[in-house]
Structure 1
Amino acid sequence: MKLFKKILLIFLAVIIAFFLFLLWYQNNYSMDVVAPYVVNTPSFEKKLLIATQGSDFKNKVTSGIVDYFKADSVYIEVVDISTLPTINPRKYNALVIIHTWENWKPPITVQTFIEKYPEHKNKIVVLTTSGEGSYKMEGIDAITGESILADAPIFIDTIVARLNRLLISKEN
C-alpha cells in the first residue's frame, strides 16, 4: 500500500508541475491583444486591413507596413486577429494576417477566416511565425519565419512587395 501512495504522490507532483509549466509558458509566450486603430480616411478607394497579434516583432512589422502606406491614398485598419470573425474581406483590397503558430496549429480565428473566404485567398498576405520558422497552413502561400526583431525589415519588405502588387499595381 505504501508503494501505491508513493506512486500516486509522484504522479500528482508530475501533473502539478506540468500545469505550472503550462501557466508559466502561457504567461511568458502568449501574444498580447492589439488595440485597433485606423490610418487615413475610409473614403479612400484603396483599403488595407492588418489583423495581427501583439508582440515586439509583430508590432514592428505592422508599424513598418503602416509607415510605408500611410502617405499613399490607402485607408489602413489595424485589428487584433480575434476580431477576424467580424471582418468582411469584400470591404478591403488587401488583407494582411500576422500570427504565431501556436500548439502545432494556427490560431482558430485565422484558420476559420481563411477557410471561410477561399475566393479572397489571392488578396490575403499571411505572415506565420514559429519557433522553427517554417510552419504554415497547408495550401496557403504564407511568408514564414522566426520572430527575430532584427529580421523585421526583411519581412516588412516582403509583405510590402506583395501589397504593392495588390494595392498599387492593379486597380481593384
Structure 2
Amino acid sequence: MNNIMGYMTFVATAIGLIAVLVNDRFSQWNKGKHRDEKNSNVDFKQRLDNYIKRKKIFDRCIYYPLVIAAILSLIAAYKDKQELDGVINKLNNVSSAFSGLNNKIQAYDNQIQKNQTDILKIANQLQQVELKLTQVQQTATKPNKTYSKEDNNNSSIGNLKPKKRNKRGCNK
C-alpha cells in the first residue's frame, strides 16, 4: 500500500510541476501571439478577446489535471495519516505494555524488599536463639548441685546440703 501511495504522490507532484511549466510556456506563447496580432493590425478589442479566449481554454485544460493531482495528493495524505494513526496506536499499545511491565517490576521490587526485611528479622531471631543456646550450653557444662533431704533430717531448704552428681546424672 505504501508503494501505491508513493506513486500517487509522485504522479501528483509531476502533474503539478508539468502544469506550472506548461502554464509558463503558454503565457509566453499567448503574449507572443498577442504581439503578432498587434503587428498585423488586428483591432485592439479583437486582440483582447482572442487573448482572453485562449487563456480561458488553456485554464480549463490545465484545471482538470491540477484537480486530479490535488485529489491524488489528498488521497495519499489521507492514507499516510491512516498509516501514522496505526503506528501511533501500536506505540500506545507498546507503551501500555511497558507500563504494565514496569508496574509488575515495581511489585516484584516491593516483594523483594519485604522478603529482605523478613530475612533480616529471621536472622535476628536466629542470632537470639543461638545466643540463648550458647547460654544454655554454658550453664549445662557447669557442675550441677543437687540437694538431698537424706543428708539432713531437717526439712528446711536452708539446711539442705548440695550433693554432687555422678557422670550419668544419677544421685547417690
Provide TM-score, normalisation by structure 1.
Answer: 0.25
Which structure carries more helix by proportion? 2
Question: Which has the larger Rg?
Answer: 2
